[in-house]
Amino acid sequence: MNDLLEKLKARKKEIISKKEAEYNNNINKGTKERTAFFRIEEIDNKKIYYTKIFKYLVKFRIANKDNKLSLTFQKLNNKKNYYLFNLFPLKEGNKFLGIKYGWDKLEKPFFLRQNNKSYVIKKLYYLEFKFSKGSIKCYVQSLRTLLRKKDKESTKYYKFNLEHIKRMENTVYEFYSKKLKNKGVIYKWIEKNQIL
């Protein structure tokens, strides 16, 4: 009887440890899939965070009594998935340098299928939050639309996107107590890089 009891206890421990390992593995997978970043690298003692490719900026807000600025983006090619990350107050020795816009050319273009049409993506457009100790590079595909001013300027989407990015710029600069010069960074970038 004692042998049977010992075998059952051993089997119970085995099952529990297997389930715990499986549970922990699933939690780690879920955490990895929820993160907005796909790569982090260090160049000249500066950490650069690269995000996944987003469709557009959904919302931004200062939360927890000015402790963080939350930014929410919609996942590219998926209306239901959103990614969120936070900008935090500066630690000692770190400075907010500003927001920069640009694009990275891809070595291997990829196809994006949307509304029964296929698009070749050759460049990834980004907005970058620059700090003295590093930066966060957010790849946002809707920035390309802003460069097509001649074709798209009169559309609601263009106007909304531009105003939304402009308000986000103002909020970020306000959060870091830095003055935004002239009209803002986004307008200069559009004027300089317009697709004619």
Domain ranges of the chain: 1-33, 35-193
pTM (two decimals): 0.76
pLDDT of residue 20: 62
pLDDT at 150 over 80: no
Three-class SS of residue 94?
Answer: coil
Distance CA 187, CA 99 (A): 12
Residue 190 contacts residue 149 (beta carbons within 8 Å): yes
CA distance linking residue 139 with residue 121, whole number of Å: 12
pLDDT band at 27 (very low <50, low <70, confident <90, very high): very low
Return the pLDDT at 193: 85
pLDDT (average), residues 64-89: 82
**pLDDT for position 29:** 44
Highest mean pLDDT among 22-36, 138-152, 161-175: 161-175
Task: Assign 34 a pLDDT band (cuts: 50, 70, 90).
Answer: low
Indicate if the pLDDT at residue 181 is higher than 90.
Answer: no
